[in-house]
Amino acid sequence: MHRKSTGTIDDNNSKSCGENSDEDKMLENSCDFGPIFDSSDFESTIFIKSKLNRHSKSNSTPLNIEPKIHVKKASDIRHRSLGGEARREAQKFVKNAVIVARRISRYGYQLMNHWDLPDWLRDNVYLHHFHRPQLATFRLCFKSMFSIHTETGNIWTHLIGLAILFFSMIYIFARPFFTTDGYPYYPKGFKEYLSFAAFFAGGCSCLTFSWLFHTLYCHSPKINKLFAKLDYCGISLLICGSMIPVFYFSYYCHVSLMITYMVIATFMAMLCIIASLMDIMSTPKFRPIRGCIFLAFGLSSVVPIFHHFIIYPSSYTLEVTQLYMLIIMGSLYVTGCLIYMFLIPERYFPGKLNIVAHSHQIFHVCVVVAAMIHLYAICKMSSFWVARGRSCPGGEL
């Protein structure tokens, strides 16, 4: 009579799953299911091995034994590990995104998170990733223009805008020397050239200081602060340079008022430049105050336009000042400034708009588009006086 197994075996007969016996080969699949076995499966495995040992000594016929293994439900395992898997997938996604950005750059530096940056490089708390580290040479800074990071869009929006404005200047200034047929937008005389030159000088200065600042932003604290001040000075020059041709053509026949408003605009620009050169104004904390200063300076041009309505008939004012174009231009400047001040839209999508579509890029686009609309407006103002032979009906006042 065969004696029933008690569930224990001698040490001589015990073998690990890694050994090469025939019995273990039959059970090697059991070794692979470790994570989904219950603790009671150990007794079932020992019973099967004991049965195989006795049968192999007495009979060469294979013994078919189907072990009863209690396997846990896959749904239980999935529910239990769902939170961990989601967390691992999120971490993997972020890690891969950072690796891709680093591989794209390939310029000898690693992009950083906002919280790993030194204090002088922290500006926008809602941009979490893809920041350049400190690049201590100008060569590396300029080389970084061609890589992907948080400042790439800021650099190229104003660099491309500068190229457009510069070639527009060459076209407007050079065209009259070749032909004026069908071309009413040309300056004639020193004063008109000077008014156009004031706009182009202000616009090109603003865009130049801007793209240089965003390129050299990560060089050092000293360079950062210097070009930040130049950037703000450039904004003041753009506003003042935009006002000069408007005052010139609006008060073409009222020279005393023209000069008065030009002097006031220049004086206000100097005050803004002095404020921009203060160290405290370069800090992120004073971003709203900077925005309010430039906004107030730009909106001050409403006063001369309103004055023009008082002096001249409204139909004349609308035509000579190209008021509709100026309203569109001003709306773009105001919208861009408010977006810049309140960090919209990244405030509502923190960490999602690190590369494109954050507030500073939108502000830059608004500035470039507004500058081109303003250029078209002053060209139309010039054509107004070209059509009238550049003469005042009642003479100059």
DSSP letter at 151 equals T
- 200-234: b or e for each residue (b if 16 or more CB lie within 10 Å)? bbbbbbbbbbbbbbbbbbbbeeebbeebbbbbbbb
Q: Does 214 appear as a known binding residue?
A: yes
Q: Tokens 């050299």 correspond to what residue?
A: 216
Q: Does 360 appear as a known binding residue?
A: yes
Whether the Cβ atoms of residue 67 and residue 46 lie closer than 8 Å to each other: no
Whether the Cβ atoms of residue 186 and residue 144 lie closer than 8 Å to each other: no
Q: Smallest Cα–Cα separation from 209: which of 277, 258, 143?
A: 277
Q: Does 128 appear as a known binding residue?
A: no
Length of the chain: 397
All residues at 6 or more sequence positions from 298 whose CB lies less than 8 Å from its CB, including other chains: 239, 330, 333, 334, 337
Q: Binding site membership for Zn(2+): which residues?
A: 214, 360, 364
Q: Binding site membership: which residues?
A: 214, 360, 364
